[in-house]
Amino acid sequence: MVEFLDQGRFQAGLVVREQDRHLALVDAAGQERLVSRDLIMQHYPERRPAREEARAAICALQEERAALAAELDLNLLWEVAQEQGRSFSAGELAELYFGRRSTTGASVMLEALINDRLFFVRRHLEFLPRPADQVERLRVQQDRIRGRSESARRMQSLIRDILSGAAPPPSNETPVLLEEVAKYLRNPFARSRELTQVLATAAPDVDPAEASFEILERLGAKPDAPRFAFIAGLHPRFSEAAETEAASTSVAPRPRIEAGCVITIDDEDTVEIDDALSCEALAAGELRVRVHIAMVADFVAKGGAVDEEAAARATTVYLPETTIRMLPETISCDRASLVENEERPVLTTELKISASGELRDISIYPAQIRITKRLDYTEADRILESGDGDREVATSLRMLREAAEKLRERRRMAGAMLVHRREPKVTVRDDDIQIRVLDSDSAARSLVAEFMVLSNYLAARFAAEHRIPIIYRVQPEMRGEAQRPRLSLYPEYHAGVGLDYYAQFSSPIRRYADLVLQRQLVASLSNDRVQPYSVDELLAVLAGAESAEASGRDLERRAKRYWILRYLDRHARDARLTALALREGASAELADFAVRGTLRGAPSLPDESAILVRISRVDPLRGWLAFDYLGAAEPIGSA
């Protein structure tokens, strides 16, 4: 695969033939085109999909680039690079900013730098940070060019005053601006290009929709709606047809099985419960484990009103202020959710795990089970640590943890990348901001994660062995380094999880792609075995779902960062804060908030060394966070 320059933008394509001065490529539309070799900007020698997989591979690359581009802030990069007083290649700047070497990161950086007219000047194959006074002059010059009309200039000035926190003088433009930005936000599909340009010129480092919401809030006309849901045009309510269908769909009972003590483990506020676990001890140290996934396919008919809305939403979006569900609550929080003391239809993966961690006697089947116990992660961790509580529950958890540890170790030995992540959980109610940091390595979270990986692996293996058309997630290794995950019609090794087969089935309540693959799997287990989706349909559906999921994840990330920075701006401006040094002291992550920012004044530091910092700059609207280094701190977690 390569990327070529097309009207100032980088476009991806798969090389299918080579000529002297041109390459024949298949582009994102599946069309073949000739491109001059002089326009080839980036090569991806490790990405070699088959021609029939080109569109999916290009889609995956575009999503990867979009995620990196959304993260890139040239203003922040310029501030860091300027301090070093030298020129950089695009690859060096990408590594400096993203913290890792990446062909995709270098490509995103190169495209941004080629189109940048403000922060960097090109010198042959390198880029030199402009002096601060020159950047300021260029800002003024760009403002002058973009805002030629007097009305636009006045509007831009008013917007700058509002967003800077200054009280704007009485102006005839204020009521006009309020009306225009309110209309701009109401319909995300018909946003004025002219107003977008005015907003982008007045606040080039703020998303125009976010700037619009901020203007309304600061002028006392804040919409009565969650901030980021409103900005993105997401609505929690479903159509009347979808709600009626969700409540009235009749479901034939599945064969009932006695699965023993069936446990769900989720966050304490989770109401969309789509997985459960049960186990029983056998002879010779063996353990029979059942992983139960909510049978959402029974409640959502392909092509129905609920299905159409679920396909459009593609994923449940978890925002600090609200949750925008993929499915109506009648299904997602009640009829399909694995609620304690209720019988529910599930897709069960049953297997035996030997004392050494070997898997055998694997089967997948639809079933009806009763949920015995609902636990949150804190309760499950407490039981695992102390052994207190219901004996049957405690025994099941202990056996599941031991099995999960064996499975995890087998994956580690196979090369899986076991990453320890600290994720912030942010809740906002009536402008009260609550933040806590979740440890993905806690005993209960590791246990659940391991069995979800196992369930996904076994379902993918079953599909491969029975030639069921699905979309696999693959992550091949090239020269000892794992590449970015991508979608494929064919099973391949997934380096991230260390398994030969992988697909996502385990969250059908929350991810449309998982629901689609569940339908494929369930159909293969029925008597007629007619697949709901052809290969072409799968590619189209899942490519769209992947793109929407990526947008949802980006919105969740932006929303979390905004509210964490807003909290820090209110409550921690002058506090001495404990942080972890990253990128040899170029940045840091606050220990109690799991949010990162630029670090100034620090010596070269080992990654994750504990340090003390003070906030030197915080701007929630722009996502800016910078610290001053104060010195070393006691290791985090020490007495």
Domain match, 85 and 160 both: no
* 195 located within any domain: yes
Above pLDDT 70, what percent of the chain? Answer: 97
Cα 394–chain centre separation: 33
Domain match, 273 and 382 both: yes
Domain match, 216 and 246 both: no
Domain match, 210 and 260 both: no
* 564 located within any domain: no
Q: What is the dihedral sign for C-alpha 7, 10, 12, 14?
A: positive
* 559 located within any domain: no
* 136 located within any domain: no
Confidence of residue 378 (pLDDT cuts 50, 70, 90): very high
Domain match, 255 and 210 both: no
Above pLDDT 90, what percent of the chain? Answer: 60
Would you state the torsion angle of the CA atoms of residues 446, 448, 450, 454, taken in this order, to the nearest 10 degrees?
180
| Among 29-43, 327-341, 445-459, the least confident range | 29-43
Range of the domain at 500: 240-551
Q: pTM value? A: 0.75
Confidence of residue 542 (pLDDT cuts 50, 70, 90): confident
Packed helices 193-202 and 173-186: angle between N→C axes, nearest 10 degrees: 110
Confidence of residue 478 (pLDDT cuts 50, 70, 90): low
* 125 located within any domain: yes
Domain match, 219 and 246 both: no
Residue 639 has a pLDDT of 42
Domain boundary among 516, 551, 586: 551
Would you state the torsion angle of the CA atoms of residues 288, 254, 324, 306, taken in this order, to the nearest 10 degrees?
150
- Given the DSSP bridges, would you call strands 359-370 and 343-353 parallel, antiparallel or unpaired? antiparallel
* 299 located within any domain: yes
Residue 394 has a pLDDT of 94
Domain match, 455 and 480 both: yes
pLDDT one-digit tens code per residue, 267-319: 999 999 999 999 999 998 899 999 999 999 999 999 999 999 999 999 999 99
Specify the number of domains making up the chain.
4
Domain match, 155 and 120 both: no
pLDDT one-digit tens code per residue, 132-182: 989 988 888 777 666 556 778 888 888 998 998 777 667 778 888 899 999
The tokens for 474 are: 């693959």
Domain match, 485 and 602 both: no
Residue 541 has pLDDT above 90, yes or no: no
Domain match, 21 and 169 both: no
Residue 530 has a pLDDT of 81
What phi-psi label fits residue 405: left (phi over 0), alpha (psi between -120 and 50 degrees) or beta?
alpha
Residue 507 has pLDDT above 90, yes or no: yes
Q: What is the dihedral sign for C-alpha 593, 597, 601, 606?
A: positive
Tell me how many degrees the CA angle 192-195-196 measures, rounded to the nearest 5: 85
Could you tell me the CATH number of the domain that includes residue 597?
2.40.50.140
Domain match, 345 and 449 both: yes
Confidence of residue 440 (pLDDT cuts 50, 70, 90): confident
* 556 located within any domain: no
Residue 121 has pLDDT above 80, yes or no: yes
Domain boundary among 502, 519, 551: 551
pLDDT one-digit tens code per residue, 202-224: 999 899 999 999 999 998 898 88
Residue 638 has pLDDT above 70, yes or no: no
Domain match, 362 and 500 both: yes
* 271 located within any domain: yes
- Given the DSSP bridges, would you call strands 624-632 and 596-600 parallel, antiparallel or unpaired? parallel
